[in-house]
Amino acid sequence: MSEIRELQDVYGRRYRVGETDLELLGRPRAWMAWLAAAAMFAAGVQQYGFGVLAPVLTRVHGWTFGEIVPSLAVWAICQAGVVFPAAWLRERGILPPAAAMTTGAVLCAAGLVTLGHASGLAAVFVGYSVLGGLGTGLVYATCVGAVLAWFPDRTSARVGVVSGAFACGSVPFVLLVNAVPGERALLLDGTAAVTLLVIAGCGALLRFPPRHWWPETPEPRAWALDKAHNRNPAIRHYRPSELLRCPVTRSLYLVVALAAAVLLFDLGYVATFVAARGGTGLAAAALAVLAGVTGGGRVLLGWLSDRLGRRRVLRLALAAGGIAQFTLYYSGDHGHPAGVLAGVALAGLGNGCCYALLAGLVREYFGEESVPQNFGLLYTAKAVGALFGIGLAALVVATHGYLTAFAAAGVLSIAGALLTGRLAQPGRPRSLLPSA
């Protein structure tokens, strides 16, 4: 092991050099990315699989869709709300990664078992929404934090892979639920067991590097000046309390909330809407495509954002997500399966990719020192999105029908795209900003 040193670049970023990933782990750092991706693959079932389970629950228990769909909103609020506290506790050594992952594994499994056996709505809200949501949030915060720490030189691309796994994990589950709808309890118990083993096993092996760690290559100060990797480096580093005082934070928070509202609306309502007009097979296929394209799209857009600029890619994604809502309603209402699948693919590529871009934006706008915590603060916008995209949408669907709900979702997504024009790095004059 060479001498451990701390370097500083012209932007004030610090780098700990002298330790390689092989020396710290005994294996390449890519192992940490794959462990995080595997855990996220298992954890995402509760969010992306809900749409295919909701019709089953209403049919078995006689609940109305309006009674069961708020459980997804509460789940999203709990999941998003725990990401910042988990990052804050981990930074202070109070919640080690292994403890967070083990706790998350148990709670995720409890949420799935609840959906398989609960006979009352109260049990669903406690077991699935609260416990399952908190567990998923712990896993999400730990896995994203690990990738941010191990890949400071490739943040957007690697976060895209890991957050993409969070969406892709539900694809086989959605198809299985549709294939064997009468085996709900058995399928969910089996999924809970696999989820528990995968997340806990990955958590036992997951490690974080020392603070400010930097890989052996590239040379950090040369990398910092390379515009191919640092198009718009942050002017300075913001702690969470400072981030809350930045005017741009309000705009970015609202953009994330709008994107989350539309994505959660699609996850909660598309399956029921499509099943009533095209059958359960098409509804399951639509959800599988939505989850699969969301996962793959996060990888693609994370890569593109490094080359084209995160603000530009985010604007195009949200505009595409808005167009998708009108495509979905028209195709579903007129019985066009190909149009439905095209609509959900466009929705997944649009609104589903916001979170993969958020980590890069946080780093680019607010610096390196507190990326996991700053990300966690802005990620709470998902909870606000859940109130509108699921809670308020339930009232709109019940009183005005799906046409108004899909139109409102489309308008919200396009409004988010327009709002990206207000995003600018704190402290940098707008006249110096590139168009991206």
Which residue type, as a one-letter code, is found at position 157?
Answer: A
Cα-to-chain-centroid distance, residue 28: 25
In order of their start, the domains of the chain are: 11-432 (1.20.1250.20)
Which residue in 211, 98, 231 sits closest to 152, CA to CA?
A: 211
| Residue-level pLDDT at 377 | 96
Query: What tens digit of pLDDT does each residue of 105-147 get?
Result: 999 999 999 999 988 999 999 999 999 999 999 999 999 999 9
Cα-to-chain-centroid distance, residue 29: 22
| Residue-level pLDDT at 82 | 97
**SS in 3 state form for the chain?**
CCCCEEEECCCCCEEEECCCHHHHHCCCCHHHHHHHHHHHHHHCHHHHCHHHHHHHHHHHHCCCHHHHCHHHHHHHHHHHHCHHHHHHHHHCCCCCHHHHHHHHHHHHHHHHHHHHHCCCHHHHHHHHHHHHHHHHHHHHHHHHHHHHHHCCCCHHHHHHHHHHHHHHCHHHHHHHHHHCHHHHHHHHHHHHHHHHHHHHHHHHHCCCCCCCECCCCCCHHHHHHCCCCCCCCCCCCCCHHHHCCCHHHHHHHHHHHHHHHHHHHHHHHHHHHHHHHHCHHHHHHHHHHHHHHHHHHHHHHHHHHHHHCHHHHHHHHHHHHHHHHHHHHHHHHCCCHHHHHHHHHHHHHHHHHHHHHHHHHHHHHHCCCCHHHHHHHHHCHHHHHHHHHHHHHHHHHHHHCHHHHHHHHHHHHHHHHHHHHHCCCCCCCHHHCCCC
Task: Using pLDDT thresholds of 50, 70 and 90, give the confidence band for residue 213.
Answer: very high
Omega before 97 cis (within 30°)? no
Query: What tens digit of pLDDT does each residue of 149-198 get?
Result: 999 888 888 898 999 999 998 899 998 888 887 788 899 999 999 999 99
Query: What tens digit of pLDDT does each residue of 387-429 get?
Result: 999 999 998 999 999 999 999 999 999 999 999 999 988 876 6
pTM equals 0.93
Q: Are 165 and 105 in contact (CB under 8 A)?
A: no
| Residue-level pLDDT at 426 | 87
Query: What tens digit of pLDDT does each residue of 274-286 get?
Result: 999 999 899 999 9
State which of 19-23, 45-49, 60-64, 410-414 shows the largest mean pLDDT: 410-414
Residues contacting residue 231 through CB under 8 Å, at least 6 positions apart:
309, 364, 434, 436
Query: Which whole number is the average pLDDT over 237-249?
Result: 92
Which residue type, as a one-letter code, is found at position 104?
Answer: G
Which residue type, as a one-letter code, is found at position 387?
Answer: L
CA distances from 90 to 93, 379, 382, 428 (A): 5, 17, 21, 31
Write b or e for each residue in 264-294: b if 16 or more Cβ atoms lie within 10 A of its Cβ, otherwise e: bbbbbbbbbbbbebbebebbbbbbbbbbbbb
Query: What tens digit of pLDDT does each residue of 351-386 get?
Result: 887 878 888 899 889 988 899 999 999 999 999 999
Q: Are 129 and 340 in contact (CB under 8 A)?
A: no
Residues contacting residue 354 through CB under 8 Å, at least 6 positions apart:
255, 256, 259, 260, 263, 314, 317, 318
Query: Which whole number is the average pLDDT over 191-208?
Result: 97
Looking at the chain, the whole-number percentage of residues with pLDDT higher than 70 is 97
- In angstroms, the CA 135 to CA 124 distance is 15
Helix axes 354-366, 371-379, angle to 10 degrees: 130
Query: Which whole number is the average pLDDT over 51-79?
Result: 91
| Residue-level pLDDT at 41 | 95
| Residue-level pLDDT at 79 | 97
- In angstroms, the CA 420 to CA 309 distance is 12
Residue 255 pLDDT more than 80? yes
Q: Are 44 and 172 in contact (CB under 8 A)?
A: no
Q: Are 374 and 242 in contact (CB under 8 A)?
A: no
| Residue-level pLDDT at 432 | 45
Query: What tens digit of pLDDT does each residue of 15-38 get?
Result: 899 899 999 999 999 999 999 999
* Mean pLDDT of the residues in the chain: 91
